[in-house]
Chains A and B, each alone.
Chain A
Amino acid sequence: MDKTELPWNNPVVEANASAPAARLGQYAQPPLRNFGSIDPYNRISREAKDMIPPPFEYQAPTSVSEALALLGKNPEAKVLAGGQSLIPLMRFRLASPAMLVDLNRIGDLAYIKEGEGWLRIGAMTRESDLDQSDLIAKKYPLLADTTHVVADPLVRNLSTLGGNLAHADPANDHPATMIAYRAQIVATGPKGERTIPASEFFKGPFETALAPNELLTEIRIPAPGKGSGGAYVKMERKVGDFATAAVAVQVSLAKDGTLERVGIALTNVGLVPIQASAAEKALTGKKPDDAVLRQAADLAAKAAKPESDARGSEEYKRALVKTLTVRALRKAVARAQGG
């Protein structure tokens, strides 16, 4: 149909020459907060359509080097992994990348291997593959716990570990877990590989240490020795919800039963995942009795920087961090003692 046939295609109201009221002005906007979980969806949906993404160029390289070349040439490009964060954002037109570089056709980015003191996980390994790995279930309970509470089983069939970290949503679950594990993140760029400690990877909400022309290719978790255990305890309002707060704990016990190494990190109680260093320190070298665990949990709660939102008040979330830290510590210690 020719649009000139239609009777009403003249502007109905004269355009206003003066500066239009800011369409995303403060008047209608709540402060941008708690990114991944709530507001991006709400924010954009005011501005544009939900459901229908904007157009983009699509490329599906079959090797990392090809992917890197595409990224190098197209600064506007974005990487597509599981798509379970990126596509929802595009559907709300919060993200409108000019090009998507799809990593799903690169065969050798999905693997779970153990050796030389590390568990090595390819960036494109899907949550459900982690879920089904016997090795992870037996030896990496913190990772198993975490994977099990990320999103829902259908989302987990697509979403990747690499994407979860690279997205750097403060509400994502794996970042804290990787910090607690003292994991290393492997970035591959035009000049080759470099490793970044997880604790230095998350720079801000949706911001990482990755350069635009780098790919996250691998995650390396130190293989836990004897007497190690971990746990992830998450408070969520329902399955598929992001954390109100969550705590990742990884410990190893010395022969005398004292805590030798302790990693504690917190999810969604700050703009980045928070390493509870003071709590870690307070536990190291101590016998893990309940009083000690509580004290450490206090310190973890102090380290949290939650903000009030629909998931609860700042005060509530801080208290929650304490409760969840004690529970995670108990569970991790019990697991360490058991194996």
Chain B
Amino acid sequence: MAAVAIQGLGHPRKRVEDARFIRGKGNYIDDMKLPGMLQVDIVRSPYAHAKIKAIRTDKALAVPGVLAVITGETLKQYNVHNMPTLMSDTQMVLPLDTVKYQFQEVAAVLGTDRYTAADGVAAVEVDYEPLPVVVDPFKALEPGAPKVRDDKESNHIWHWEWGDRAAADKAFDAAEVTVKENIYIPRIHVASIETCGCVAQWNATEGHLTLYMTTQAPHAIRTVVALITGHLGLSEEKIRIVSPDIGGGFGGKVPAYPGYVIAVALSIVTGAPVKWIEDRTENMAADSFGRDYHISAELAGKKDGTLTALRFKTIADHGYTDAAANPSKMPAGLFHIATGSYDFKNAFVEVDGVYTNKPPGGIAYRCSFRVTEAVHTIERMADLMAHEVGLDPADFRMKNFIKPEQFPYKSALGWEYDSGNYAGALQKAMDMVGYKELRKEQAEKRKRGEFMGIGISSFTEIVGAGPSKDFDILGLKMFDSCEIRVHPTGKAIARFGTKSQGQGHETTYAQILAEELGIPADHIKIEEGDTDTAPYGLGTYASRSTPTAGAAAAMAARKVRAKAKKIAAHLLEAAEEDLQWEQGKFFVKGSPDRAKTIQEIAFAAYTNHPQGMEAGLEAVSYYDPPNLTFPFGSYICVVDIDRGTGEVKVRRFVAVDDCGVRINPMIVEGQIHGGLAMGFAPALMEEISYDENGNIHGSNFTDYLLPTAVETPKWETGETVTPSPHHPIGAKGVGESATVGAPAAIANAVVDALWHLGVRHVDIPITPPKVWALLKEHGAALEE
């Protein structure tokens, strides 16, 4: 029998989870069917702000198969009509008397199946008295603006600032050159192809709740549910959260939504399992959104192009409640990564959170807490400054990059960047794309009246939240975990506090363990998502799984190895110090044939372990990272502009990423492809907007434009490898880098194409009408 390959680090191992997905045997939430299961559906508000004057349920209750209609008043009897958000704000589960945004939950209908529940929803009659609406956060801050929250003083939620304001101001006063721009990063939605949903199963006999749900963070959710329902006696040991296969998360499946709570309440009261599945419109129009940052950005520098200071002032529109999913101490997430890849001596950022009559949120869109907002801004501003001082954007970046020898680098905003080689990545991207020739082509084309643009984005990401001294969610420290058990036959099972939504954890975690233990990856089963079995963890988002749980895997494996060494010493009758590890076995130094394989050692751990030692071969690690990791990369985008229609065509897109050591290059590459598509989409297509009455535009896929294979560019990828010095295997996160870095490359390319006309900035999404308006404004629109 041929030996089974180890498939450790660097191996493009084919994915284990594919086996069920390609056969249509995945276990997604809506695939669940429990005996006697009922379905809940939700009545939603057509108004962005209104008093509820009456809810008439008689017609709905007359629909055959409709069992109940509940409202906020019903939930109030149990004091679960409100719930805390992850930012310790309050969110209505169902309202008592007012709605605060369009599509807000108003009432819930329980039916025997989804058709009857929908009929019930259609038959519920609600009388509203419309109230004044405020959708613009700037207007919301004006005196006399309609007040969004009755329980708050004003529409201003919080002020947060970071850095040395006085020093930054001084540097600006002394600057030879400054540039300033207002940048809006619009509201968007992760729009995973699977919406959110759950099946709540209350076992009245045992007083136990199992909640199957689409969550990226099962343990944290269990604690949140216990906080909401603890006063009813539903305490944490009586709650089991199971996160089945998830059809994409990207941040949208981190928060708790009212639908989950409603399903739980209904299951408890009826004793039947209750399913709640969002339709797409509900998902887009009521679930947490991403971004919605209005940034006023300034850079200061010297005439030679040296950057000296940065000042960003931001208005953050959070909608009706701050339902962001940030570390508790960081209401603006990691926005203070704003100095990016550049060596700034002075920097100051401030953000003000504002309530408006829009859905709540502020979660990430495949991004580690507001990093895209920061990166987009600094990368756009870098281009502005480069042009201002007359430098090519590439030369400008090379000049201002933090140099490899400066790492670990302490940024003006307080981060300690772990490692990087920014110039190396940019140079590689320039070589791949043929930068010089492109600039030549651009000049020639311009003479002929054809507009092409080349845009660079040299981003620095910050992922892997995070060190417990700074990072917690609702007080829960942001460690993550791995528990490994090696069976007597040398096979193993490992469980984690994270939850894959397509990242391939079942494949890659096994590779880390295989590398560390020498047990073939195929012999290691990986499990996640069941709070009854997995060790506590904070979940998968913010590219944190590899930096935290991946590290925990290595650490747990090393604990196993330490014990294995003792057993090996016993078996080999040698001193521990005389043993040496080579992947998969310990041998006596100097005599390699006196060896014991990990499988032999595992067997001995159960059959022949040393006297005085506990049997078994297991370990748990709760890994608290000493720092975040800072992946980076340089992207170059080439666009052609149709002067007749304003269309932007991405001709080429070169992406050089450095995420440290790549555990599985195939999966890393796939993550980058997907991330690029989710950078491309908001750059050119996606946006959720509201009219002045708070009517949403972009509530489903006819208006909210997800790119197909036709629009999506053909990515060209490259890599450099700068390991993280503090991560046990040198890896950094990668799931989100491309989403963070790509929009700026595209925006910079468009502005670059139009720079000679006098165009300095265009907000994303850069739609054809926007480009055409710019062309027109500068007399360059081609009306053939």
Residue ranges of A at the interface with B (Cβ–Cβ < 8 Å): 1, 3, 6-9, 11-16, 20-21, 23-25, 27-30, 37-38, 41-42, 45-52, 54-55, 93, 152, 235, 237-241, 244, 294, 297, 310-313, 315-316, 319-320, 322-324, 326-327
Name the A residues within 8 Å of B697 (CB-CB).
38, 42, 310
Name the A residues within 8 Å of B61 (CB-CB).
3, 9
Would you give 14 A-B contacts (Cβ < 8 Å), ordered by A? A20-B54, A20-B127, A21-B128, A27-B47, A28-B47, A37-B702, A41-B699, A47-B46, A48-B118, A50-B279, A237-B705, A238-B705, A316-B772, A319-B776
Minimum Cβ distance to chain B for residue A188 (Å): 33
A21-B130 in contact (CB<8A): yes
B102-A28 in contact (CB<8A): yes
A42-B703 in contact (CB<8A): yes
B691 on the interface (CB 8 Å rule)? Answer: yes
Write the chain B residue with the least CB distance to A310: B697
- On chain B, which size bracket covers the interface? 35 or more
B644 on the interface (CB 8 Å rule)? Answer: yes
Name the B residues within 8 Å of A46 (CB-CB).
44, 46, 102-103
User: Contacts A49-B41, A93-B122 hold; do A16 and B47 have CB atoms under 8 A apart?
Assistant: no
User: Contacts A50-B281, A316-B646, A319-B783 hold; do A239 and B708 have CB atoms under 8 A apart?
Assistant: yes
B696-A49 in contact (CB<8A): no
Contact with A along B45-68 (1 / 0, CB 8 A): 011101011111110010000111
Q: Point out which of B54, B269, B708 has the most chain A C-beta atoms below 10 A from its C-beta.
A: B54
| A20 vs B769: C-alpha distance when bound (angstroms) | 40
Minimum Cβ distance to chain B for residue A39 (Å): 9
Minimum Cβ distance to chain A for residue B136 (Å): 17
Write the chain A residue with the least CB distance to B76: A12
Contact residue among A13, A42, A322 (Cβ-Cβ distance under 8 Å from B73): A13
Contact residue among A24, A41, A323 (Cβ-Cβ distance under 8 Å from B644): A323
| A54 vs B781: C-alpha distance when bound (angstroms) | 48
Q: Point out which of A41, A46, A54, A297 has the most chain B C-beta atoms below 10 A from its C-beta.
A: A46
Contact with A along B376-411 (1 / 0, CB 8 A): 000000000000000000000000000000000000
User: Contacts A93-B122, A238-B685, A316-B773 hold; do A28 and B57 have CB atoms under 8 A apart?
Assistant: no
User: Contacts A48-B122, A297-B784 hold; do A27 and B130 have CB atoms under 8 A apart?
Assistant: yes
Q: Point out which of B46, B53, B66 has the most chain A C-beta atoms below 10 A from its C-beta.
A: B46
B53-A50 in contact (CB<8A): no
| A326 vs B642: C-alpha distance when bound (angstroms) | 14
Write the chain B residue with the least CB distance to A309: B697
Contact residue among A23, A45, A48, A239 (Cβ-Cβ distance under 8 Å from B699): A45
Minimum Cβ distance to chain B for residue A121 (Å): 27
B56-A15 in contact (CB<8A): yes
Contact with A along B457-497 (1 / 0, CB 8 A): 00000000000000000000000000000000000000000
User: Contacts A49-B118, A238-B711 hold; do A12 and B130 have CB atoms under 8 A apart?
Assistant: no
Minimum Cβ distance to chain A for residue B2 (Å): 44
B127-A3 in contact (CB<8A): no
| A11 vs B776: C-alpha distance when bound (angstroms) | 58
Kindly list 14 other residue pairs between chains A and B, CB separation below 8 angstroms, not including A6-B67, A11-B56. A9-B57, A9-B61, A9-B68, A21-B53, A27-B130, A29-B695, A30-B691, A42-B695, A42-B696, A48-B121, A50-B282, A235-B647, A238-B685, A312-B768
B693 on the interface (CB 8 Å rule)? Answer: yes
B54-A52 in contact (CB<8A): no
Minimum Cβ distance to chain A for residue B319 (Å): 17
| A16 vs B708: C-alpha distance when bound (angstroms) | 48
Minimum Cβ distance to chain B for residue A314 (Å): 11
| A320 vs B642: C-alpha distance when bound (angstroms) | 11
A51-B54 in contact (CB<8A): no
Name the B residues within 8 Å of A294 (CB-CB).
784
B130-A38 in contact (CB<8A): no
Q: Which 5 A-B pairs have the closest CB atoms?
A: A312-B769, A52-B118, A323-B644, A46-B46, A326-B784
Name the B residues within 8 Å of A7 (CB-CB).
269
B55-A12 in contact (CB<8A): yes
B138 on the interface (CB 8 Å rule)? Answer: no
Q: Point out which of A9, A14, A41, A241 has the most chain B C-beta atoms below 10 A from its C-beta.
A: A9
B695-A30 in contact (CB<8A): yes
A45-B281 in contact (CB<8A): yes
Contact residue among B119, B285, B695, B773 (Cβ-Cβ distance under 8 Å from A28): B695
| A27 vs B281: C-alpha distance when bound (angstroms) | 21
Minimum Cβ distance to chain A for residue B701 (Å): 8
B122-A3 in contact (CB<8A): no
A322-B784 in contact (CB<8A): yes
A240-B270 in contact (CB<8A): no
A51-B699 in contact (CB<8A): no
Name the B residues within 8 Å of A38 (CB-CB).
697, 702-703
| A229 vs B575: C-alpha distance when bound (angstroms) | 90
Minimum Cβ distance to chain A for residue B396 (Å): 33
B707 on the interface (CB 8 Å rule)? Answer: yes
User: Contacts A8-B70, A238-B708, A297-B784 hold; do A323 and B645 have CB atoms under 8 A apart?
Assistant: yes
B118-A310 in contact (CB<8A): no
Name the A residues within 8 Å of B781 (CB-CB).
319
| A38 vs B702: C-alpha distance when bound (angstroms) | 7
A14-B711 in contact (CB<8A): no
Name the A residues within 8 Å of B702 (CB-CB).
37-38, 41, 241
Name the B residues within 8 Å of A47 (CB-CB).
46, 122
| A16 vs B700: C-alpha distance when bound (angstroms) | 33
A12-B122 in contact (CB<8A): no
A239-B66 in contact (CB<8A): no
| A287 vs B74: C-alpha distance when bound (angstroms) | 76
| A239 vs B706: C-alpha distance when bound (angstroms) | 10
A6-B270 in contact (CB<8A): yes
| A152 vs B701: C-alpha distance when bound (angstroms) | 13
A313-B773 in contact (CB<8A): yes
Contact with A along B750-784 (1 / 0, CB 8 A): 00000000000000000111001100100001111
Minimum Cβ distance to chain B for residue A216 (Å): 25
Name the A residues within 8 Å of B281 (CB-CB).
41, 45, 50
B118-A23 in contact (CB<8A): no
| A6 vs B269: C-alpha distance when bound (angstroms) | 8
| A296 vs B543: C-alpha distance when bound (angstroms) | 56
Contact residue among A1, A50, A240 (Cβ-Cβ distance under 8 Å from B708): A240
Write the chain A residue with the least CB distance to B110: A6
| A47 vs B272: C-alpha distance when bound (angstroms) | 29
B784-A12 in contact (CB<8A): no
B710 on the interface (CB 8 Å rule)? Answer: yes
Contact with A along B235-259 (1 / 0, CB 8 A): 0000000000000000000000000
Write the chain B residue with the least CB distance to A244: B768
B58-A323 in contact (CB<8A): no
A235-B71 in contact (CB<8A): no
Name the B residues within 8 Å of A55 (CB-CB).
119
A28-B279 in contact (CB<8A): no
Name the B residues within 8 Å of A23 (CB-CB).
46, 126, 128
B115 on the interface (CB 8 Å rule)? Answer: yes
Name the B residues within 8 Å of A20 (CB-CB).
53-54, 125, 127-128
| A239 vs B701: C-alpha distance when bound (angstroms) | 12
B685-A237 in contact (CB<8A): yes
Name the B residues within 8 Å of A12 (CB-CB).
55, 57, 71, 73-74
Write the chain A residue with the least CB distance to B72: A12
Q: Point out which of A24, A28, A50 has the most chain B C-beta atoms below 10 A from its C-beta.
A: A28
B707-A238 in contact (CB<8A): yes
B114 on the interface (CB 8 Å rule)? Answer: yes
| A326 vs B685: C-alpha distance when bound (angstroms) | 26
B68-A313 in contact (CB<8A): no
| A28 vs B281: C-alpha distance when bound (angstroms) | 17
Minimum Cβ distance to chain A for residue B685 (Å): 7
A13-B55 in contact (CB<8A): yes
User: Contacts A16-B53, A38-B703, A52-B115 hold; do A323 and B768 have CB atoms under 8 A apart?
Assistant: no
| A30 vs B50: C-alpha distance when bound (angstroms) | 17
B129 on the interface (CB 8 Å rule)? Answer: yes
Name the B residues within 8 Å of A51 (CB-CB).
114, 118, 279-280
| A50 vs B644: C-alpha distance when bound (angstroms) | 38
